[in-house]
A and B are shown apart, each in its own frame.
Chain A
Amino acid sequence: DVKVTQSSRYLVKRTGEKVFLECVQDMDHENMFWYRQDPGLGLRLIYFSYDVKMKEKGDIPEGYSVSREKKERFSLILESASTNQTSMYLCASSLIHWEKLFFGSGTQLSVL
Chain B
Amino acid sequence: EDQVTQSPEALRLQEGESSSLNCSYTVSGLRGLFWYRQDPGKGPEFLFTLYSAGEEKEKERLKATLTKKESFLHITAPKPEDSATYLCAVQADYGGATNKLIFGTGTLLAVQP
Question: Interface on A for B, CB 8 Å cutoff?
Answer: 4, 40-45, 48, 56, 58-59, 90, 92, 97-106
Contact = CB atoms under 8 A, between A and B. Distances in A.
26 contacts: A4-B43, A42-B87, A42-B103, A43-B44, A43-B87, A43-B89, A43-B101, A43-B103, A44-B103, A45-B100, A48-B100, A56-B98, A59-B100, A90-B44, A98-B32, A98-B99, A99-B49, A100-B46, A101-B46, A101-B101, A102-B46, A103-B43, A103-B44, A105-B42, A105-B43, A106-B41
B41 A105 contact: yes
B104 A42 contact: yes
Contacts of A106: 41-43
B106 interface: yes
Interface of B is mostly: strand
Q: Bin the interface of chain B by size.
A: 20 to 34
| 6 shortest interchain CB distances as A-B pairs | A103-B43, A43-B103, A42-B105, A42-B103, A100-B46, A103-B44
Interface in B84-113: 87, 89, 91, 98-101, 103-106
Nearest to A59: B100
Contact of B32 (A58, A99, A105): A99
Contacts of B103: 42-44
B47 to A, nearest CB: 10
